[in-house]
Amino acid sequence: MQLVRFRVDLAPRCSLGPGKIALLEMVAKQGSLTKAAAALGMSYRYAWLLLEDLNRSFTEPVTSATVGGARGGGVKLTRFGAEIVRRYHLASRGIDAAARRSLGPLLRKAAQRPRAPAGSRSRSIKRAA
């Protein structure tokens, strides 16, 4: 299990996080933005906006699109897009290892139960009268 999920801001309006990386990986796997978005449970429009943001955030394109053809075109990662994914995962492994070293004693004491839904109150907390 991955311990840390992180986002990195490389420059103003240039960020990478787990959502964008998952989209890039799925685009590489599916060869289609439509299929990648569906596989991740996100709308095509939202996926398109994420890719557009990535392509505008760097001086090199992250993806390239093909139009037409027998299969109707598609989208694929550029070499630079694949490098972004590789470097993000490299950083992620390092950050996760550091967190495990620092927080190891807490991990062993963490209760292994499902989280309560966001916004719900624990029954042991009483409302102030």
Domain-embedded: residue 114: no
User: What's phi and psi for 111, nearest 5 deg?
Assistant: -65, 135
| Angle 16-103-3 from CA coordinates, rounded to 5° | 40
* pLDDT value for 110: 82
Q: Is residue 116 part of a domain?
A: no
Residue 36 forms part of a structural domain: yes
CATH of the domain at 64: 1.10.10.10
Asked if the structure places residue 109 within a domain, the reply is: no
30 belongs to a structural domain:
yes
User: For residue 29, what pLDDT is reported?
Assistant: 96
- The rounded average pLDDT for each run of 10 residues, N- to C-terminus, in the chain (129 residues) is 86 92 96 95 96 94 81 86 97 93 86 69 52
pTM of the model: 0.78
- Report pLDDT for 129: 46
5 is a domain residue: no
Q: What is the pLDDT of residue 69?
A: 59
Contact 20, 54 (CB under 8 A): yes
DSSP-assigned states of every residue in 34-96: HHHHHHHT--HHHHHHHHHHHHHHSSS-SEEEEE-TTTTEEEEE-HHHHHHHHHHHHHHHHHH
Among 18, 4, 3, CA closest to 85? 18
Domain total for the chain?
1
Please give the residue range of the domain that contains residue 36. 12-104
Instruction: Name every residue whose Cβ is closer than 8 Å to that of residue 55 and which is 6 or more positions away in sequence.
Output: 61, 62, 63
